[in-house]
Amino acid sequence: MSNNWKKNFSNVALSSKPSPVRELLKVIRQPGMISFAGGMPAPEVFPAEQFHEGSEKLRTDAPLLLQYGTTEGYEPLREFLSKWTAPRMGREVGLDEMLLTTGSQQALDLLGWAMLDPGDVVITEDPTYMAALNTFRNHGAQFASVPMDSEGMMVSELPPLIERLRASGKKPKFIYTIINFQNPAGATTTVERRKELVDIAARYDLTIFEDDPYGYVRFDGEHLPSVFSFDKSGNTLYAGSFSKILSPGVRIGWVSGAKEIIRQMAIFKQTTDLCSSPITQVLTHEYCRKGYLDAHLPSIIKNYREKRDAMEASFEKHLAPLGVTWVKPQGGFFYWINTGAIDSDELAKRAIEKKVAILPGAPFCVDPEAGKHAARINYTFSNPDVIEEGVSRLAQAIQEMRIPA
C-alpha cells in the first residue's frame, strides 16, 4: 500500500482526532448494549407522516427543488424562522441577517473561516461541545476557558481572563457559549449572567457565538430571552437547529446576526457546499407552514421529560449512594455526572464490559484533566425501563472500581 497519502497530509490532518461518539457507534451496535453515549433524538418522536405530506412538492415544484438553491437559503423558510424565533430573539431579524446552514455544525465551521487566523483564541465554557473544539481547532484556534456551575458560564471570570490573554500578546476573537441546557453540562445560564456577558463582550469588543440547539426543548420553567435579544450593539451571532425539534436527518440549521458577518459566512459557504439541499429546505418549510412544528413540540418535550425524570430517579436510587453528583437539567439531552475519585476513562471502559456506553469527560474539556472525573450521559434515546437497567449497570461498574483489588 502506498505511503504517499500520509506523507502529504496537511498539518491539520496530522493533528486531527476522530469523534469519540462516532467511534463508539461501532461498539453500541453490539447486541444487548445500552447507549447513553450519543446525543440522538428518540426515533419515536420523528413526525414521519406530517413531514411526508410535503413530498407533494416534489411533483409540483420539481424544477425548483431539483435545481441549485441560493447560498443564503430558501427564502420562505428564512421568513418563517424570522417570525417564529422573534419572541426569543427580541425582534424579527432581516433576511440579510440570516443564513441557512447544513446543520448548525456548519455554522461553527463558517464562523471559523470568517473569524479565525492561526493562533487566535476562542474563549469557551469548560466543559463544552467537543465538536466545536475540534472545528475551531481545525482553523488553528487556541482556547481559553471559563468554568461552569449550576447557573451556567461563570461570566464574572471573563474580564481578568481577557486581560491576561491580551497582556500575553494573545488575541481572543469571540466567546462561544451553549446558553440553554448546555452540552455536556446540562446547565442553563441565568438571565443576569446573559446580560453581564453582553456587557463584557461590548466592553472588550468581542463577538459572542450563542449556540442554542436545545433551547426549545424545555421541560421546566419559562423560556429565557436569548443573549442576542440583550445585545443592542450587534456583537452576537445566534445559531439554531432543526436537529432536536424535527429531525437531524434534515440537516438544516440557521444562524442570525449582523449582515456583515452573515454575508462573509455566506461567501465561505459558497466554496464549501454551494448551498444546503433545496429539497429538505422546502420540505421543512412545508412542515412548519402547516403548523406541525408548533403542534409537535409538546410531544417531544413530554417524551424527553419522562425520560429525564426516569434517569433522575435512577440516579437517586443507584448513583447517589455511591457519591456521584449531578445537576438536574431543565431541558435538553444530557446529564453531566461527577464521579468523585473515579477516573471516567476507566469507568467508560468498565461500563462497556457491563454493556452500557457513556462518554468520559476529557474530550469535552479544554483542559482534559478537568474532565477526568466527569462523564456525559444522554437520556433522550432510551426508554425509561432501559434507562433504569443502564444506570444500574453503571452503578455496578462504579462500585467495582471503588473496591480495592
CA atoms lying within 13 Å on the CB side of residue 48: 4
Which residues, 6 or more positions from 289, have their beta carbon under 8 angstroms from its beta carbon? 76, 80
**What is the per-residue pLDDT for 5?**
83
Give the whole-angstrom CA distance, residue 91 versus residue 98: 13
> Under a CB-based contact definition with an 8 Å cutoff, are residues 113 and 139 in contact?
yes
Topology of domain 13-45+295-400 in CATH is Aspartate Aminotransferase, domain 1 (3.90.1150)
**What is the per-residue pLDDT for 11?**
85
Long-range Cβ contacts of 294-302 (<8 Å, 24+ apart): 296/45, 296/47, 296/50, 297/216, 297/245, 299/45, 300/41, 300/45, 300/217, 300/245, 301/217, 301/218, 301/219, 301/331
**What is the per-residue pLDDT for 380?**
97
What are the C-alpha distances in Å from 14 to residues 5, 179, 200, 272? 11, 32, 37, 21
Residues belonging to the chain: 405
Supply 292's cell numbers: 406541525
pLDDT tens-digit profile of 225-239?
A: 999 999 999 999 999
Q: Indicate where the chain has its CATH 3.40.640.10 domain(s).
A: 50-290
**What is the per-residue pLDDT for 254?**
98
**What is the per-residue pLDDT for 24?**
65
For helices 384-402 and 344-353, give the axis angle rounded to 10 degrees. Answer: 120
Give the whole-angstrom CA distance, residue 315 versus residue 212: 26
50-290: CATH, from 1.10.3720.10, 3.30.1300.30, 3.40.640.10, 3.90.1570.10: 3.40.640.10
Residue 36 above 70 pLDDT?
A: yes
**What is the per-residue pLDDT for 23?**
61
pLDDT tens-digit profile of 177-187?
A: 999 999 999 99
Angle at the Cα of 37 (from 36 to 43), degrees rounded to 5? 70
Give the whole-angstrom CA distance, residue 327 versus residue 183: 13
Supply 5's cell numbers: 497519502
Q: What is the DSSP letter of 45?
A: G
Using a cut of 0.85, tell me whether the model's pTM lies above it. yes
When pLDDT is cut at 50, 70 and 90, the band that residue 25 belongs to is low
Query: Beta-carbon neighbour count of residue 219 at 10 Å?
Result: 17
Secondary element (H or E) of residue 125: strand 121-126
> Under a CB-based contact definition with an 8 Å cutoff, are residues 235 and 264 in contact?
no
Residue 44 above 80 pLDDT?
A: yes
pLDDT tens-digit profile of 106-127?
A: 999 999 999 999 999 999 999 9
**What is the per-residue pLDDT for 61?**
86
Mean of pLDDT values over 365-391: 96
Q: Indicate where the chain has its CATH 3.90.1150.10 domain(s).
A: 13-45+295-400
pLDDT tens-digit profile of 163-174?
A: 999 999 999 999
Give the whole-angstrom CA distance, residue 261 versus residue 345: 39
